[in-house]
Structure 1
Amino acid sequence: MVRPTVALASWLSLAAMRPRLFALTVLVGMAGRRWRVEECFQRPKGLAQLDEHQGREDTS
């Protein structure tokens, strides 16, 4: 379940440094839910073109 936006190294560090209270499967499930939430925010931003950078023009 490694998403292309998340580096493999960060997943490996997450697995190595996770608190022992959480199973790795729980952390992977939480990451998957977070990814879906972020994707739900990105779709409307893209439709409203809020994801495009608009720089300010200096007219002075």
Structure 2
Amino acid sequence: KALLTIKGYGTEFGVTHDFSDPKAPSTRESVIMKPDAGAAGGLKVVRPAEVAPAAESFTIGD
């Protein structure tokens, strides 16, 4: 029940999650990263958070 009240859980990768609708994905965004020994945490962002057309039109089946 408490999970359903979370509408703006952010991450350090620029993706925000909304858990208020249990029938919907928490986010449709994805981030592309690659290993980089010189980057903080060992990962470098290749493409920032964005929604792919396939993810935007995705609906959960019956």
TM-score range, shorter chain: under 0.3
TM-score of the aligned structures, taking structure 2 as reference length:
0.27
Structure with the bigger percentage of helix:
1
Structure with the bigger percentage of strand:
2
Larger-Rg structure: 1
